[in-house]
Every structure is written in structure tokens, then in C-alpha cells.
Amino acid sequence: MRRTLRRPALFAASAAALALVACGANGQDATQATAAGEPLETRPANAPDQRPAFEGQTRAPGVVSDVEVSHTVVASGLEHPWGLAQLPDGNWLVTERPGRMRVISASGQVGEPIQGVPAVVARGQGGLLDVALSPGFAQDRLVYWSFSEQREGGNATSVARGRLSDDMSRLENVEVVFRATPDYDGDKHFGSALAFDPGGRLFITLGDRSDAPMRPQAQDLGSHMGKVIRINADGSAPADNPFVGQDGALPEIWSLGHRNVQGAAMRGDQLWTIEHGTRGGDELNLTEAGQNYGWPIIAYGIEYRGGQINEGITAREGLEQPEYYWDPVIGPGGMVFYDGAMFPGWRGNALASGLRDKQLVRLVMDGDRVVGEERLLTDLGERIRDVAVASDGSVWVITDEDDGKLVRVTPG
């Protein structure tokens, strides 16, 4: 459902949709669970005078899972892991931001760094970022990954692919299939999540590079900054991309007006993304072709230094509203939609990693609307960077720490 100023919507979640059974899960006692209908978030907003564009756009009712949730640390000693993808044999590919990619077995054996990964700009928020398997991995063994790449004029996000050798020790025939432009000598807001759609096209999320001089490029169709990109597997632009043939527009652009998107997930043929706001204004978006998501013209929250963002407005005709936003923020990393066997009550829910408050966020969805929110793994006490669902239905997360961990989440 579109969320623009042109078509406001109101939604009142039914108590029946929210009345999940409290079982003392995720590090909180059942007696501490938020009552159905009451917002989970109770802290003051950074921008208390701002109002949501429609009912239910923020501060969803708190819910509690109908099963206990437990976690097991499978592997540790990782240096700021960033992305993970499950291999067909049940093992995991994990990236570390300084530039290493490893295979970690489901039992926790950490492999040596895989050879063949190109050099990365490992400073600030830059480095080796997301990783995804080709939809045809069983036949082609192709792996795709995003990284910050040194350029003549600075650096920017790139995406490469290579064949994972049969012994999983190296990447072969490595080629860069996408390079974001322009270059910029900065160390923030590289994005970058990867997600293949059902047709085998690759979505790439990019940040605006953070600094004030770069922000306006999120609205510039001649720049990749602050955009979601859609390419064919070989790096070419699909002919049906929304801006193909438009004068001055880069053909790879899918959507614009984003700040720093570090999470992306497909739900059927829908692309959903999650992005960082400033102090307030983290967003969950149903990200559609050709749409403008407003940054930095409209935004929830305030500047890090205090004060309003540009004109301080949160809505304008023709600019998309987020399906949901957080103020205060959660610091979102990766995300996934759950459709596994271990947590049948979570099916159709979104799971988002939370860096800021060190938690896994579960969002109960009713169509395109968020109608409930739960905070999980609060007792882990580490910045959760990415989340994935294994073939057996267990949930796996990685933690963005000096001593980063790979963690398996199962019913208690």
C-alpha cells in the first residue's frame, strides 16, 4: 500500500492480532511484557512535536512471542562481521569489515580467510560489507559481495562476484559488476545490502555518504548516492528499470531519496528496505520502482547536533512516507522476512537487526502495515549487525564487535 501525502491511511490494529502469549522470552520476564495495545517504545522522541502521517506509522503495540527464545553462540573471535549467507551444505559465508570472508561451519569451525577478495577501504563505516549467493549457486557457485573500493577521486561502494572454489578456499574469476559514482573521499554511509529478486536481478542499497555537501545527491538522478540500484546479474541495467532512457538519469537507479540503507529483503516480488535516520527517523520502506523516499527534503527526527533537518518537514506532496519509523532509533542493520518451521508464530514477520540498542527487532505485519513490535536477544548485549533464516527455520545473527559472534536462535 502506498504511503504518500496524497493518500493518508488510518489503521487500528485489532486486539486479536496482537494478543500473543507471554512466555518469558528473549531476556524479559512475562510480567514485564507490554500489554497488548500499548506502544512498546516509551522513551521520549527526539522530535516530540512531529506527528506520524497515519495511525500506526510509529510506536506499534508491544507483543511477546508465544514460545521461549534461546540463543547459542556458535562462533566468536570475528572482527566486526557484516554480512552472512547460508551455503547449501548448511555452513555460512561471513564477511568481516576489515576485508576477510570466511566459511564458518554450522558447528562453529571458523575457516581461514577465503583468497581472492579485492582490497577494501577499511576505515569508518567502510570495508567488506554484504554477501549473497547467486540464485543459481548450486550450478554456478557464484558469490556476490559489496565493499568500499578505493578510487582515484576517493572511494565508493562497489559490487563484485566470483566463483567459490570447490574446496571453498578461494574466489575465482573475480570481476566488479557495479561501481557507484561519483567517488568521494569519505568514510561513512556506503550502504550496502544485496538482495536478488525472483527474476534473478540484484538490488543494491547505497547511502548518501553522510556529509552535508553530499546529501543533495540523494535527490540527483545523475548520482548513485542515496539510491537503491537494480542490475542484471552481469552488472548491466535491466531495460525495465524506471529511469532508463531519461536524460541525465543513471539507468541502474530503482528508487531515490534514501539516507543510508543497510538492510534489504524480498517478500515475494516486493523489495523492503530499512535505513538509518539521524537522531530519530529510522525507516522501514516498501521500496518501489521510480519512487522518491524524500531524504533530505523530508525526514523524521532531528540533526545529530540538534535542530531541525533542512526545513524540518516530515511530508510533502509526491514524496513517499515510510511504512514505519522509529524515534528514538534502533540503528537498523540487516533484515529478513521469516518463513521457517521453528517459529510458526513468526511467519510473515520481519526481523531486523538493531545496532543502537543491541537487539533483534521483530515486526508483526498485517499486509504492509506494522501492527506489533518485539525486542529479542536483549540479554546478548552486543550490536546485532545482520540476520538470516537457516533452512531448518532457526534464526542466525552476527554481532558487530571487536570480538564478533555468530549466534543461532531457536525456541527454548
User: What is the structure's pLDDT at 36?
Assistant: 56
What is residue 44's predicted lDDT score, i.e. its pLDDT? 98
Residue-by-residue DSSP string for 256-286: E--SBEEEEEEETTEEEEEE--BBB-EEEEE
Burial of 229 (0-12, 13-18, 19+ CB in 10 A): buried
pLDDT of residue 21: 32
Strands in 171-179's sheet, in edge-to-edge order, are: 128-133, 142-151, 154-164, 171-179
Task: Please tell me the distance from the alpha carbon of residue 373 to that of residue 359, in angstroms, as a whole number.
Answer: 12
- Percentage of the chain lying above the pLDDT 70 cut: 91
Q: What is the pLDDT of residues 310-348, one digit of tens each?
A: 999 999 999 999 999 999 999 999 999 999 999 999 999
Report the C-alpha dihedral over residues 223, 226, 229, 235, rounded to 10 degrees. 50
Confidence (pLDDT) at 9: 36
Would you state the pLDDT for residue 35? Answer: 46
User: Of 71, 80, 189, 276, which residue is the catalytic one?
Assistant: 189
Predicted confidence at residue 264, as pLDDT, reads 98
Contact assessment for residue 362 and residue 345, using Cβ atoms and an 8 Å cutoff: no
Q: What is the pLDDT of residue 37?
A: 81
Q: Amino acid identity of 221?
A: L
User: Which residue ranges in the chain fall short of pLDDT 70?
Assistant: 1-36
Structural domains of the chain sorted by starting position, each given as residue range(s) with its CATH number in brackets:
15-411 (2.120.10.30)
189 is catalytic: yes
- Per residue in 261-276, pLDDT (tens digit) is 999 999 999 999 999 9
Closest by Cα among 300, 266, 296, 270 to 282: 300
Please write the tens of the pLDDT for every residue from 210-238. 999 999 999 999 999 999 999 999 999 99
- Tally the C-alpha atoms within 13 A of residue 388's C-alpha that lie toward its C-beta: 25
Strands (DSSP E) contained in 180-294 are: 194-196, 202-205, 227-231, 253-256, 261-267, 270-275, 282-286
pLDDT tens per residue, range 60-95: 999 999 999 999 999 999 999 999 999 999 999 999
pLDDT for 20 equals: 36
Stated pTM of the model: 0.93
pLDDT score of 121: 97
Identify the CA nearest to 308 among candidates 44, 5, 50, 58.
Answer: 50
At residue 140, φ and ψ (nearest 5 deg) are: -100, -15
